[in-house]
Amino acid sequence: MKATHKLLFVLCPMLVLVFIFYSSGKLHLHGWGQKPLFDQQGFLLKLDGKLSDDLVSKYGNLSRGACKPGYAAAKMSVIYPKFVKPAPMFLDRNFRRLTKVTNFLPPFGFKTQERIIDNILTATKNYGLGPELDRLSCKRCIIVGNGGILANKSLGSRIDEYDVVVRLNEAPVSGYTRDVGTKTTLRITYPEGAIQKSERYEKDSLFVFSAFKPLDFKWLRQMIFKEKLQGTEGFWKSVARYVPREPSEMRILNPFFIQEAAFQFIGLPMNNGLMGKGNIPTLGTVAITMALHNCDEVAVAGFGYDMNTPHAPLHYYETVKMSAIKESWTHNISKEKEFLQKLVKANVITDLTKGI
Ligand SMILES: *[C@@H]1O[C@H](CO)[C@@H](O)[C@H](O)[C@H]1NC(C)=O
Ligand SMILES: *[C@@H]1O[C@H](CO)[C@@H](O)[C@H](O)[C@H]1NC(C)=O
Ligand SMILES: *[C@@H]1O[C@H](CO)[C@@H](O)[C@H](O)[C@H]1NC(C)=O
């Protein structure tokens, strides 16, 4: 009797182990037998621009040209099921509750900068796009890149039709309006990219600050409080000393968009959450990421470099040629392009200049 007991004690766990081993093996074999549906980043491998049936029934009856509420996010979720839409555009007084960015240093979060941000946000007092745009139930946004591909295409009036026109860094408007439009809702900038001549700023746009290093927050505080600029050693080129904007017209871009673009969307090296070789997305891709979370429809223009035309201009406002582009230490242009091409191919975003 005792011996059979012992035998049972040994046999039962063994049977359980064998069963577990067998079933997990089967699961594995099953997994191997199927072709993976998603790539490493979690994007659907088979991308086509077609609307799924539920999106057709949702948007099919809208009158032609009407803004489609939630369209970009819905299409994004089809090709990238991990997508979670809510992510505020700008930091507000509750920024410490943004758990995904609290534990990262700039540029992927705001750790170590909390007090200076409190200071800044107390002065700006405004954390949205402004009453008129915040009230819109459906927003169409366009991100205007600085690419030479925008030149001589007369897209200005089409760009002006968007509710939110986003421009980057020093991209000029005056003198180029036929091609780039007249309207600027947001100008997203880091210190080295900011317009340096006050008279070059357009009349009314929000100055949206995007930080790439801790020092950048100090610069922003000096700009907001109109202080004399001090401590410029850490910048990689000269920076603006004065920004002709009231504190109420300044915003801090949520650093989550840099983090998500780098690590989730493009798949750049994590480097323990620190800035490292080739793991910083370009500002244009950061802006597109922001728009996917905050706009109902998203378009872009002036994006993409065509390396087959080295003599074409790099920027629409300069004569610097494409061939001048250098291998970048911070960005990974080719990996970034793969991500943007997924968005275009699946019609998540519309590329007006077709350069992506
Ligand atoms: C659009 O029309 C289809 C059938 O014509 C209908 O099933 C669907 O509910 C409608 N969608 C909306 C959003 O009205
Ligand atoms: C745009 O047109 C102007 C005037 O015709 C010309 O000088 C310039 O080279 C053109 N730029 C590009 C990028 O084609
Ligand atoms: C970009 O990514 C590719 C693929 O991961 C890698 O081989 C290449 O070295 C990266 N370039 C830079 C500049 O980091």
pLDDT, tens digit, for every residue of 228-275?
Answer: 998 889 999 999 999 999 999 999 999 999 999 999 999 999 999 999
The closest ligand to the CA of 320 turns out to be: 2
Q: Report which ligand 3 atom has the smallest distance to the Cα of 267.
A: 5
Question: What gap in Å lies between CA 234 and CA 228, rounded to an integer?
Answer: 16
For ligand 2, say whether the CB of 148 is within 6 Å of any of its atoms. yes
Q: What digits encode the pLDDT tens for the residues 74-103?
A: 999 999 999 999 999 999 999 999 999 999
For ligand 3, say whether the CB of 277 is within 6 Å of any of its atoms. yes
Work out the angle between the directed axes of helices 114-124 and 214-224 (0-180°, nearest 10): 30
pLDDT at site 13: 52
The sign of the torsion formed by the CA atoms of 328, 180, 255, 87 equals negative
Question: What gap in Å lies between CA 151 and CA 156, rounded to an integer?
Answer: 10
Maximum Cα interatomic distance, the chain, rounded to a whole number of Å: 98
User: Distance from the CA of 343 to the center of ligand 1, in angstroms?
Assistant: 26
Q: What digits encode the pLDDT tens for the residues 152-173?
A: 999 999 999 999 999 999 999 9
Closest CA to 332 of 290, 256, 291, 276: 276
User: Distance from the CA of 323 to the center of ligand 3, in angstroms?
Assistant: 20
Residue whose CB lies within 8 A of the most ligand 3 atoms, among 335, 336, 339, for a mutation test: 335
pLDDT at site 98: 97
Q: Report which ligand 2 atom has the smallest distance to the Cα of 151.
A: 13
The closest ligand to the CA of 326 turns out to be: 3
Q: What digits encode the pLDDT tens for the residues 6-41?
A: 655 655 555 454 454 455 544 444 455 567 799 999
Q: Note the pTM of the prediction, 2 decimals.
A: 0.89
Sheet with 206-209: strands ordered across: 250-252, 206-209, 186-189, 164-168, 140-144, 297-301, 349-351
The closest ligand to the CA of 66 turns out to be: 1
For ligand 2, say whether the CB of 151 is within 6 Å of any of its atoms. yes
For ligand 2, say whether the CB of 153 is within 6 Å of any of its atoms. no
Site of tokens 């659907």:
44
Name the token pair of 23: 């079933």
pLDDT at site 29: 46
The closest ligand to the CA of 279 turns out to be: 3
Angle at 283 between CA 158 and CA 95, to 5 degrees: 105
User: Distance from the CA of 268 to the center of ligand 1, in angstroms?
Assistant: 41
DSSP state at residue 150: G
